Structures are given as structure tokens and as C-alpha cells.
A and B are shown apart, each in its own frame.
Chain A
Amino acid sequence: KPKQQILSRFFAPK
């Protein structure tokens, strides 16, 4: 089953 990634993997906190 494909694994769900989370947004912090792509975008850094401001």
C-alpha cells in the first residue's frame, strides 16, 4: 500500500 507523506517533508515552517 502506498504510504502517505506529510507536508513538512516539502514545506519548511516560516
Chain B
Amino acid sequence: DDKTATKDEL
């Protein structure tokens, strides 16, 4: 789902 894409956090 979209979570694996939005790893924009440290």
C-alpha cells in the first residue's frame, strides 16, 4: 500500500 512508498521521514 502507499505506506511503503512514502518513506520520506528519517
Whether chain B is bound by chain A comes out as no
Which residues of A pack against B, CB within 8 Å? none
